[in-house]
A = this chain, B = another copy of it.
Amino acid sequence: MSELTARAQELDAADELAGARKQFVLDEVVYLDGNSLGALPAAVPGRVDDVVRRQWGALRIRSWDESGWWTAPERIGDRIAPLVGAAAGQIVVGDSTSVNVFKALVGGVRLVSGTSRDEILVDATTFPTDGYIAGSAARMTGCTLRPVAPAEVPDALSGRTAAVLLNHVDYRTGRLHDLPSLTAAVHEAGAVAVWDLCHSAGALPVGLDEHGVDLAVGCTYKYLNGGPGSPAYLYVRRDLQDRFDSPLPGWNSHAEPFGMRPGYEPASGALRGRVGTPDILSMLALEAALEVWDGVPIEAVRAKSLALTDFFLECVSAYVPEGRVETLTPLAHRERGSQVALRCADAGDVMKRLIERGVIGDFRHPDVLRFGFTPLYVGFGDVERAARVLGQTLGDLAG
């Protein structure tokens, strides 16, 4: 047994979160793609079956009340809230991340309407959809859109800045941006801070309330394991809710949705972020998936996440031929999310071979190998094996 294998066993034996793994459906592969699609929580199939057969099939329309369908968006929002450092009553679940980015950015710009602020800053390294949607939000609110690297945001802020859209963790490199200081800088400039938490929620503490974030969005199918395309969420800070003016004022956000009134009057609170009829099957699958978080402090998840990525980088150094890959993910803990991105010239081919050998990561065009580490179900033995198989694969390709 190699020294690293032994270390992995010791780390797994000491892992306080090791027990969470049994709450997921896993097999013999090493699944390091939970930053794209989280693994299936074991509670989900039975719950979904109940939703389909009993709630829909037998109770039918009665389930809107009796099975809690109507209130699911805010109830599940409250379940996500502690994971991102939000008190209850500020998050609603529903729609895709893209749609929520639109609500948040237009709503954000409208918070400073009546001023001369007419510029939206957007993370230039963002997952593309955020930039595309920000372009539409800018166009439809009379703003200009300016892409800026997150580190350049403080210098780019001005009296013209209306809102700033940033990713907490970069989807490609895994870099963690400094949410507290960037939010403070945005506020100092008098602008609105909108954060995309897709790659941080469920992997590390976010502290939305603590840091005074204005609006935030995130998906639920990565570290929150909600299932393919599961509904996203919108956070609107409590003291802004009465002024939040949604560009998608669907009937679900009305103060009296069943009043069927011709005039729109927005609901109070987080409900104002709802739009149309909630997508119940996906939403209640997500609710079941969130049960794995019962009693799991996000700080413990973060500690394990850093230990996993540290150990992976150490194993990669040991197993991978020198100079064959370049680490894109920052080494400093304060700058690292829960994934490791390695630049590798033949990354597409390498990932295909890794997958054939039972190590599932993903490839991002043109030359990036991404490995996501979900602390609830990835162990240190998985990490050592993944790095070892990567080393062997690169060795074989060189031979």
- Chain A residues close to B by CB (< 8 Å): 25, 27, 31, 33, 36-37, 39-40, 44-45, 48-49, 52-53, 55-58, 60-61, 63-64, 69, 95-99, 102, 106, 124, 127-129, 131-133, 135-136, 140-141, 147, 172, 219, 221, 227-232, 246-252, 254, 258-262, 264, 275-283, 285, 360, 362, 364-365
Contacts and interface: CB of A to CB of B under 8 A. Distances in A.
B228 A99 contact: no
A27 B58 contact: yes
B128 A98 contact: no
Contacts of A95: 95-96, 99, 276
Contacts of A251: 98, 127-129, 132
A135 B264 contact: yes
A252 B132 CA distance: 11
Contacts of A227: 52, 56, 280-281
Contacts of A39: 57, 60
The 6 closest A-B pairs by CB, nearest first: A96-B276, A98-B250, A98-B276, A129-B251, A228-B280, A40-B57
6 contacts: A96-B250, A96-B277, A98-B250, A102-B248, A231-B279, A279-B279
Contact of A99 (B60, B124, B264, B275): B275
Contact of A229 (B45, B228, B280, B362): B280
A250 B364 CA distance: 18
A152 B285 CA distance: 45
Contact of A52 (B48, B97, B124, B246): B48
Contacts of A140: 106, 140-141, 247
A264 B365 contact: no
A249 B133 contact: yes
A175 B316 CA distance: 68
